[in-house]
A and B are shown apart, each in its own frame.
Chain A
Amino acid sequence: MPPRPRHIFCAGRICAAAAAAIALCACGPSRTPADIAAEKGILLIGNAADPATLDPALATGFGEFKILSGLFEGLVGANPETLEPEPAAAKSWEILDGGKKYVFHMDERAKWSDGSRVEAGDFVFAWRRALLPQIGCEYASLFAPIKNAEKIRSGEEKDVSKLGARAEGAGTLVVELERPAPHFLSMLCHSAFFPLHRKSLEKFGAQSARKSEWTRPGNMVSNGPFKLAAWSINDRVSLRRNPHYRAPERLFLNGADFFPISNINTEDRAFRTGRLHITESVSPARIGYTRKNFPQCLRSHPWLGVYYYLANSARPPLDNPLVRKALAMAIDRRAIIDGILKGGQAPALSFVPPGCGGYSLPEKSKMREDIALARRLLAEAGYPGGKGLGKIPITYNTSEQHKPIAEAVANMWRENLGVDAELYNLSWPAYLAARRSGDFAVARSSWVADFAAPESFLGVFASSSGLNHGKFSDPEYDKLLEEAAETPDKSARNAKLAEAEARLLGEAAMIPIYFYSRVYLISPRVLGWEANALDFHNFLGVKFAPPEK
């Protein structure tokens, strides 16, 4: 018998070596990074998008707002439980001249992270900067209620000092409005209204310099509960306690780390393996499992946002309101929520989410789901059984959720109305370009409130709005919005806004699909992270429960 060839590689040895290597490399932490961070008072947060900027005037994304809410503080804050305005950098305020003048008294304790005092002039500096055309603040339209803000923004008024906001000494800020704006205090929580530390900003560029390094760690001076400790693109943003924060008795955390985890499955795994305390979202496929096995970690609550299909009112055949209404009525919204989203969203039969700033729309004014009526309307429009209508293109930007929703809607239109739809998936810039140029018939859209008031939603469809890409135009609708803006009484104002929304829905300027909910995972150890309709968190009152023994 020939000698058995001696194998150079022995399977047993390889396995043993691999096991040894794993044992050597794996430190086998008994405590997870989330446990260690909790002991240090550091909150680990999943933040879907990588922040493109930490300049409050330039931030546009929800992920950026979350970070900025820890770094800066406006004149007025929002109570995380009730969203009611509460003192922040201003300790008190007076509303004069029938709501046309606001006088804010600065809190002497409010300090920048370098120890210097937050002064009224810091707000004036920041607000004037946000209105400069060179800065290009996307939220500059929020300043519209302030005297001369629109003129400065449009370039009609070149002198920014004409803005109706002036500092009277370090401790008083006087703001004059064009007309009473009942939601003005709520708006002041928005990051566009945050103050800026003039000295540190000008060290790295002029007031009008959009691209500047003042937002880097070590350069940035902020006035919020935290200061910027580290920012590595595509890795994390680390905030640490601002030692000069005005209300240390309400701040229990020592910091917060934000991780830009774009993939929801990666984020889910990170949470389950103790790398995060709070996630940005949960995969719809995991919601059922989590609800069953870890209900204490799943949080779901309404969020002031609406997902809708924008109809191009300027292009046939959707220039015919009957066609738009028929399409809107033939969608089974509950099926989309239960079959695709699974996150506690609510079917949207109006544009303004329920409970937005105490506003409600009468049931009779809402849209209906009625297939028989939808067919009749389509026939009335001259397209019985969808004949002659041609294919309706649905344009959406790349996303894991937009595609199945578009497929479901297309299927419903085909089955219920005999209308064929074509799906167009575009990258985000191409989608925006298509929307802006009106090169669409139906475009997936969404709107999330900038502040908790119906005006934040209904203003989108004003004829003059730069966001009205569907070119909906109704002089009566515009007039009602104008009248509402002039009405100081809240209930009377809301009645006018409800009338306006009824017209908007009657004309089916858009096809609302669902109202957003925020669905995310949160460690049971995190206390004081309140669920609110704006998902606003200023980190005050948030703390860790002691570990279970």
Chain B
Amino acid sequence: MHVLLVEDDLILADGISRVLRMHGMAVDIVATGDTADMLLQHSDVAVLVLDIGLPGIDGFEVVRRLRARGNALPVLLLTARDAISDRVRGLEMGADDYLVKPFSTLELIARIRALVRRSSPQSHELQIGNLSLDQFSKRAYIDGKPLELSVREWAVLEYLIQQIGRVVSKQQIIEAILTWNEEVSLNAVEVYVSRIRLKIATSNLSIRTIRGFGYVLEKAEQHDA
């Protein structure tokens, strides 16, 4: 995966490029908006990580020009300001996501991967630990052995896996699995989750309950990016 990093703070740029390379990404660094704008007209990268406060033309302008050329390249804005106007303006200019400095490596990697996933065609296969999902046939396997899941259970598991590591509310689960003429109660969600929990007991995934709110699907080994 090729990342173009536009950041004028050399130490931060160096740090970002190191951690990105550590996670198997190729990184090009430029320090000004003008250079970035020029490069973006010719080279082909998978994702643009762009600081807002740059010498010369700023990050907003780089995105604006990029979008004006009809380029749909995923853009992650880095900002030192968390002022509302900055966020809103960045997203209005056509950025896909923003990250407020200082951020952690895990956050940065997760955001970049999410952006790239969104922009590239989905694969039908999802593999997390020893559990694999075939989204085409709607079947799940642990160590290659198929799991017996109802349609609803499969939908809940698929959603939890898509949101792995993230806390999801019961309401979000309902909205995710709902089809147009059905009603699902909060209690029903609890039942599905407890059944799924039993069925994936042999996997290295676990579903943790967030009291009074929802669930988070976690991998047994934490902090594995």
Asked if A and B are interacting partners, one says no
Interface residues of B (CB under 8 A from A): none
List the interface of chain A (C-beta within 8 A of B).
none
